[in-house]
Amino acid sequence: MRILGIEHVAVATADLDEPARIFGQLLGLSKQRTEDIPDQQVITDIYATGSGKIEFVKPTAPESPVSKYLAKQGAGIHHIAFLVDDLRAWLRHLRQQGVELIDQEPRTGAEGFLIAFIHPSSTAGILVELCQRP
């Protein structure tokens, strides 16, 4: 049971055009896909960097968690996602260690990954996602 690497870094944004211009055209990152995630009320543009992805996440509804984040903090790096080998085993282990989880069980995220978020109160104030390849 181990962490395999940084799968992606997610950036909250009110607009996907500016990131496309900067990270796509100017920095030359290749856009892999755009994905609508109704579950989270967001749409995300996913760019490959060569090692790890950067995902720009725009809310599609005022009730989206990302709308609340933008209203409170403005655009910024929203979370870091680590690729793991066995997400269910990780969630069991973390619960046993008293870690507060946002997701008790894996759910399906972008690109069909199994994902779960750890509560920032248990991870030094930053939002951490664990994810497993579909």
User: Would you call 99 helix, strand, or coil by DSSP?
Assistant: coil
What whole-number distance in Å separates Cα of residue 106 and Cα of residue 53?
A: 20
Q: Are 7 and 82 in contact (CB under 8 A)?
A: yes
Rank residues 76 and 112 by Cβ distance to a copy of itself and give the closer one.
76
Structure-block tokens of residue 67: 């709308």
Give the x-and-dash track for 3-42 against a copy of itself (CB under 8 A).
xxxx--x-x-x-x--xx--xx--xxxx-------------
Number of residues that this document lists for the chain: 134
Answer yes or no: are the C-beta atoms of 87 and 131 closer than 8 Å.
Answer: yes
Contact code string over 68-107 relative to a copy of itself, x by CB under 8 A: -----xxxxx-xx-xx----------x--x-x--------
Can you give the binding site for a copy of itself, defined by CB under 8 A? 1-6, 9, 11, 13, 15, 18-19, 22-23, 26-29, 49-52, 54, 56, 73-77, 79-80, 82-83, 94, 97, 99, 122-126
